[in-house]
Amino acid sequence: MALIVQKYGGTSVGDLDRMRNVARRALAARAAGHDVVVVVSAMSGETNRLLKLTNGISARPDQREQDVVVSTGEQVAVGLVALAIQAQSGSSASARSFLGHQVRILTDSAHANARIKSIDDSKLRESLGRGEIAVVAGFQGIDEHGNITTLGRGGSDTTAVALAAALKADACEIYTDVDGVYTTDPNLCKGARKLDRIAYEEMLELASLGAKVLQIRSVEFAMKYQVPLWVKSSFNDDPGTLVCKEEPGMEDVVVSGIALQRDEARFVARDVPDRPGLAARIFTALAQANIVVDVIVQTPSHGGHTDVAFTVAKIDLDRAREMMAPLAKELGIGAIEVENDIAKVSIVGVGMRNHAGVASKMFQTLADEGVNIRVISTSEIKITCLIDEKYAELAVRSLHAAFGLDQKRG
């Protein structure tokens, strides 16, 4: 008998029939003799609807109250899924729902982007001990002061993996609307191919570079606690993709996947005085405002000045602009330029470590399509290029073909 955590995303609980499908799958795992914890997201579209409400009241809603509102989507979903399991099994003793604070998923107080600090597994163990399927609300937790917090968009993945780690589960299964992790977003590129396995490190890069199939923190947890993590479809019985430790042979493939992140904005701080501490001032100010800064590039010093370019998500653009204006004055920065409509396209693969010519192939492929590269950033297993958003899909498709990832047609 194993302990399995199953997580169902928004589309998988999108209506009552789909919730019945979730109930059927959870009960099948239970009937096979397993202990089952089900984590659910809000019904699809619900979190966006709730955010629209809070933004309708205020352009900058208080984050504590916003979390009170947006966490309700998951409350509705856990109640309905627990009811669906009870209805199908004919027993009210077969399932019980839990909100984040009822489990006691303790987080820090960074509203809208909280991090899990600890999980008390006692209530869930008691529930499983009674033979129930425990249905846990994803995305939400509670801080040490008793405030409701949420874990950032896509955060139910992280709830599931963190629970699997805390319960030392035998497997964590993420059920979604695609069959697994693909070489690139299958909704963007018809040639995308499903991967049977992917290394934690590669998945971490893909998730952080825009592949929203898993929230990045869920992959961090899985890697840290070695949770066997599966991505599967809730609509069929395909075995899906296993996210696991790097295995021999994985390096034979140079590029495993391609990620795309739209809706970025690029800042360039021109003529920044080349003194110690200036980059620290800029990025500390942005971090304190909870603005996540992405690709950062600094040019070599020219006449005692440098240029510093960085990207932020478009939703943070206005706040970042407001922060940078007074800072520019104070620090003697020449000018702040902002560019909208930037996309980030990245190739990822552990095989890059020992293959030459990968970067030049990426740049040549983009050049052949007439795509101008704005900024380049690399690490051991990824290369990222910032490009104009209008070329985003073209870039993904041509790189997918160039690196031999397209599905073989038989």
What is the contact surface with ligand ASP in residues (CB under 6 A)?
9-10, 41-42, 47, 73, 138-139, 153-157
Query: Shortest distance, CB of residue 312 to ligand ADP, whole angstroms?
Result: 21
Return the residues of window 165-194 that contact ligand ADP according to CB under 6 A.
176-178, 181-182, 184-187
- Side-chain half-sphere exposure of 266, counting CA atoms within 13 A: 24
Q: Name which of 134 and 272 has its Cβ closer to ligand ASP.
A: 134
Residue 139 within binding range of ligand ADP, rule CB under 6 A: no
Return the residues of window 193-232 that contact ligand ADP according to CB under 6 A.
206, 211-213
Query: Shortest distance, CB of residue 235 to ligand ASP, whole angstroms?
Result: 17
CB 39 within 8 A of CB 156: yes
Sequence-distant (6+) residues with CB within 8 A of 3 are: 34, 35, 36, 37, 128, 167, 168, 169, 170
Residue 154 within binding range of ligand ADP, rule CB under 6 A: yes
Return the residues of window 129-158 that contact Mg ion according to CB under 5 A.
154
Residue 384 within binding range of ligand ADP, rule CB under 6 A: no
- Rounded-to-integer distance, Cα 51 and Cα 268, Å: 30
Long-range contacts of 302-306 (CB under 8 A, 24+ apart): 304/273, 304/274, 305/271, 305/272, 305/273, 305/274, 305/334, 306/272, 306/274
And the tokens for 132?
A: 């129930």
Q: Name which of 143 and 201 has its Cβ closer to ligand ADP.
A: 201
**Sheet arrangement for strand 140-142:** 116-119, 105-107, 140-142, 148-150
Q: Name which of 222 and 333 has its Cβ closer to ligand ADP.
A: 222
Query: Shortest distance, CB of residue 207 to ligand ADP, whole angstroms?
Result: 9
- Rounded-to-integer distance, Cα 139 and Cα 152, Å: 7
- Total residues interacting with ligand ADP, rule: CB under 6 A: 20
**Which residues form the interface with ligand ADP (CB under 6 A)?**
9-12, 41, 154, 176-178, 181-182, 184-187, 206, 211-213, 257
